[in-house]
Structure 1
Amino acid sequence: MKALVALSRIFVGVLFIISGFIKLNDPLGFSYKLQEYFSPDVLNLPFLEPYALGISVLVVVFEVVLGAFLLIGYKPKFTVWSLLLMILFFTFLTFYSAYFDKVKDCGCFGDALKLTPWESFTKDVVLLLFILVLFFGLKHIQPVFGKLQTTVLALMSFILSLWFGFHVLEHLPSIDFRAYAIGENIHEGMIIPEDAPKPVLEYSWKFNVNGSDKIIVTDGSYPTVEGDFVSVETEVLQEGYTPPVVDFSIETNEADLTEEFLNKDNVIVVVSYSLEKIERNGALKLKKLQDLARKRGYEVIGLTASGDEAKQRINEAYKIDFEWYLCDEKALKTVVRSNPGVLELDKGTVMQKVHWNDIADLDLPMTFSNPELKTKLDHVFSLDQKFRDTWENFDNNFKEQSKIDSLNLIEVEAVIKDHGYPGKSLVGDKTSAAAFYVIQHSDKIGEYLSLLEQAARNKELDNIKFAMAKDRYLMSNGKEQVYGTQGTVLNQNSSPENIIWPIKNPSKVDALRRISGFETTLAEHGKGLFGDDFEYKVYTLQEVKELEKDNPWIMELLKDVN
């Protein structure tokens, strides 16, 4: 019995310390799990949900301390009784969760080790047996050290546990077991391998056969039966593969931009699962972060589950103006244990991640080599767009914009003469498009097309921008475009019709667009240009010429078309 107690003492003590430490490393995550247990669908104790974090810290500190107490032999009777009561409660909780299929993961080992409800229950039953050994062999549990040393060690275990829990709450978990840890790639975490296990499902089909119900069980195929179908129920016999990253998205109300942002470099993501609950001291730091990041060439976005009204209110209150995108609240709570928290993403890889308390620790070196030139081109770009977004006073604005375009072209040509194409390494990702837009809005696209192509090949300019320039150049010379970026208006019998300008190889254009980095098909692009009612139709140059005999502009373009 003495040997069995010694073995149980080591096993239970070490397991409680490990389990408690893992949860103490992430008490906020454990509090989310407790909120799940307290919810109306599980234990129906919603009044405890506001206190979940406090309960979380107390429970995990107590768990670590009890493990330490058991190993050093401090107050054996109190320790064993506490362990017994705790394991009885946990055993009930995991059985309830497993039997009624309420909570898919008990959270016993946080994100370090995922256990199914029945695995958690089995683990607790085994622990209960070992603790019963300790209970009945209590007299064999003696202190390892003298009374003073044992008391000091017990007190130190409590103080260190409490300090560590407070430390990670004020910063971030010291060990990040989640799929959003520094160095992890979010896009790769979403991928389901081709050979991944598929879920095994059982379908129970109910039919009415000659006035009575008949149940037929299949693996999904529709049964052949003489009767009327009533209903079908599905049961998951075996779960399939679940990728590490689920429910993560970067969306607007109209579009999913996840792929776009996960393919970008130098993106600062401010995460707030709820703007209504954002920490004020953290929000006050966002303006300085935004300005510094942009100055050094980073794009700044926000991710939240809150609505438009909350986004606008927060931006106005804290004088920030970056765009907030939508993401699932549970996913955002998993991304970073802070509200707000901040990540740096480079092509979907998490390069840095900090709690709002540690925003000043972010390392944001310049992403380009010429800040002065960036400032100049940012101003050029703002002028390039000055009158392009409004139709008011069109004639006057068109004249003013034409003057601006001429001056901008002079500026950009001087920059190109001195520096070559001012691309990403020189002026940063966003500003690298400034010279492109000025050239695109001039009559010199052909003169600079090879320069734009070379910049795209060297990854100094997005390939999509070069594709747009090439298509516009081809269209302006009455030739078929390649990528389908350009549209125009035909006037058939005085009735305008929006069209995509004729394409060289329309049957393969969508494949070419994918290879070139476009995220939309040609048909989807057409709807983006002309509205959801647009239906893409293939036109040849000859057909456009026949339809536009009375349009001098079109006819001038197509004068050499036979």
Structure 2
Amino acid sequence: MSVVFIFSGFAKAVDPVGMVIKLNAYFQHWGFHFADNNIWLQMLVGAMAAIELLLGVNLLLGIRRKLTTVFTVIFMLVMTGITLYVFLYDPVPDCGCFGSALELSKLETLQKNVVMLAASLFLSVRPQYILRLISERNQWITAVSSLVYVVSITVYSFRHLPVISFTPYKVGVNIKAAYEGNIPDQAAMELANLYFYTTKGADVTYEVLSDTSFTFLLTLPEEKETDDGNNDRINDLYDYCVDKHYKFIGVASQALGNLSDWIDRSGAAYPMLFGEPSQLKAMVRSNPGLLLLKNGVIIGKWSQNDLPCVDDQTKISEIVKSGNPTKSGLVLSLWWLIPVLLVILADRIWVGSKFYKHYIFKKN
């Protein structure tokens, strides 16, 4: 149970924008319409990630066993009810239990939650079966450090790009090869369905992917909600591309009216194409976002807060070097695991020394 909770909370923390999109699908089904950058949705995702990871840590280390098992039962009752609703009424394609990291069928999700609920009920009756791995005196250290860890990763991933990308549009992926059918695995199917078209409806996807030079794509999945605070930097990058003979293209969703509003607000002089909103949200988890292609291969990605600053002396190699935001999942895990293990080790040494002193006292 602790492994499932920790993995679920970690998956939401490293790609919180993906979870916001999944939550928004629920709310839109129920008649509530929010932008994907809505602050309340972001806070809800952050709270879910923190709760799940803390429940997992508490179960693993035996921290506040009675209180933890009660909260676990309440949490699993809510989650099981939601997954039962999803299974019966099919409001969304995927429940989003593990964010974008792992997609289960509706039946698999319901079965998993029923098993988890049964296990949580058992532990709530027998909390003494949870082994305590850290003393009551020092348990707050691991709890606080875990909370700081998950909140820090969530905030960083919201402000920049996901520290681990769960979408097919990773740096280094060859979209052109997938589009041509030369990558046969299932993960390439979404890449093969990429679609760009002009305002007149002409399909120019292959033309964009086949360009052997550098091609910057400014993704605008929700033009009406797009942050226009970086317009100067975007326009400077467009001027730089014109001078260096690189391509710079804006790719918006299908709303023509919103596109006109964006052009008026930003003073955009670059050419515009249209794409599917869901694909644009997967390509770069930012609004706006920037993606760099060369011969159909993704060689760089930037969020709106990390757009490259350029001048006449800037080399394209410097821009490319700054465009790989993803981190190793193992390294990110060690940022949490190593401090926790050190705290547990120090705690065991402290408890052992007290026991030894007490043993010597009794013996004497």
- TM-score normalised by length of structure 1: 0.51
Q: Does 1:37 align with 2:26?
A: yes
Aligned partner of 1:46: which letter?
F
CA 1:352/1:48 → structure 2, altered by over 3 Å: closer, same or farther? closer
Partner of 2:328: none
Partner of 1:317: 265
How far 1:195 moved relative to its partner? 8.8
Partner of 2:56: 67
How far 1:283 moved relative to its partner? 3.2
Distance 2:107 2:242 in 1: 50
Partner of 1:352: 300
Distance 1:294 1:70 in 2: 57
Partner of 1:46: 32
Q: Does 1:271 align with 2:219?
A: yes
**CA offsets, 1:313-358, max 9 Å, x none?**
4334333310121111111111111011101011211110111111
- Matches for 1:188-207 after TM superposition, within 5 Å: 188-190=177-179
SS at match of 1:352: strand
SS at match of 2:273: strand
Aligned partner of 2:198: which letter?
T
Aligned partner of 2:32: which letter?
P
Q: Does 1:256 align with 2:203?
A: yes
How far 1:155 moved relative to its partner? 0.9
Between 1:158-167 and 1:179-188, the stretch displaced more is 179-188
- Matches for 1:76-475 after TM superposition, within 5 Å: 76-141=65-130, 143-190=132-179, 243-245=189-191, 248-254=194-200, 255-264=202-211, 265-360=213-308, 365-366=315-316
How far 1:285 moved relative to its partner? 2.2
Kindly indicate whether the alpha-carbon contact (under 8 Å) linking 1:190 and 1:244 is maintained by their aligned counterparts in 2. Answer: no
Distance 1:246 1:93 in 2: 33
Distance 2:310 2:103 in 1: 31
Q: 1:56 aligns with which of 38, 41, 45?
A: 45
Kindly indicate whether the alpha-carbon contact (under 8 Å) linking 1:189 and 1:245 is maintained by their aligned counterparts in 2. Answer: yes
CA 1:86/1:190 → structure 2, altered by over 3 Å: closer, same or farther? farther
Distance 2:66 2:5 in 1: 17
Distance 1:166 1:179 in 2: 23
SS at match of 1:270: strand
- Matches for 1:503-522 after TM superposition, within 5 Å: none
Kindly indicate whether the alpha-carbon contact (under 8 Å) linking 2:249 and 2:272 is maintained by their aligned counterparts in 1. Answer: yes
Distance 1:150 1:89 in 2: 27
SS at match of 2:197: coil
Long gaps (5+) in structure 1: 1-11, 198-240, 368-562
Aligned partner of 2:246: which letter?
Y
More helix per residue: 2
Q: Which has the larger radius of gyration?
A: 1
Aligned partner of 1:170: which letter?
R
How far 1:141 moved relative to its partner? 3.1
Kindly indicate whether the alpha-carbon contact (under 8 Å) linking 2:240 and 2:310 is maintained by their aligned counterparts in 1. Answer: no
Aligned partner of 2:15: which letter?
D
How far 1:142 moved relative to its partner? 5.2
Kindly indicate whether the alpha-carbon contact (under 8 Å) linking 1:91 and 1:124 is maintained by their aligned counterparts in 2. Answer: yes
Kindly indicate whether the alpha-carbon contact (under 8 Å) linking 1:297 and 1:366 is maintained by their aligned counterparts in 2. Answer: no
Number of matched pairs: 310
SS at match of 2:305: helix
Distance 2:25 2:316 in 1: 43
SS at match of 1:84: helix
Distance 2:143 2:199 in 1: 55
How far 1:45 moved relative to its partner? 5.4
Kindly indicate whether the alpha-carbon contact (under 8 Å) linking 1:23 and 1:110 is maintained by their aligned counterparts in 2. Answer: yes
SS at match of 2:133: coil
Distance 1:274 1:115 in 2: 28
Aligned partner of 1:256: which letter?
D
How far 1:272 moved relative to its partner? 1.0
Partner of 1:464: none
How far 1:180 moved relative to its partner? 0.7
Kindly indicate whether the alpha-carbon contact (under 8 Å) linking 2:58 and 2:143 is maintained by their aligned counterparts in 1. Answer: yes
Partner of 1:444: none
- TM-score normalised by length of structure 2: 0.78
Kindly indicate whether the alpha-carbon contact (under 8 Å) linking 1:352 and 1:362 is maintained by their aligned counterparts in 2. Answer: no
Distance 2:216 2:233 in 1: 14
Aligned partner of 1:243: which letter?
M
Kindly indicate whether the alpha-carbon contact (under 8 Å) linking 2:172 and 2:298 is maintained by their aligned counterparts in 1. Answer: yes
Long gaps (5+) in structure 2: 318-364
Kindly indicate whether the alpha-carbon contact (under 8 Å) linking 1:290 and 1:320 is maintained by their aligned counterparts in 2. Answer: no
Partner of 2:342: none
Aligned partner of 2:270: which letter?
F
SS at match of 2:230: helix
**CA offsets, 1:457-503, max 9 Å, x none?**
xxxxxxxxxxxxxxxxxxxxxxxxxxxxxxxxxxxxxxxxxxxxxxx
CA 1:101/1:291 → structure 2, altered by over 3 Å: closer, same or farther? same
Kindly indicate whether the alpha-carbon contact (under 8 Å) linking 1:13 and 1:67 is maintained by their aligned counterparts in 2. Answer: yes
SS at match of 1:342: strand
Partner of 2:5: 16
Higher relative contact order (CA 8 A, sep 6+): 2
CA 1:150/1:196 → structure 2, altered by over 3 Å: closer, same or farther? closer
CA 1:191/1:86 → structure 2, altered by over 3 Å: closer, same or farther? farther
Distance 1:139 1:62 in 2: 22
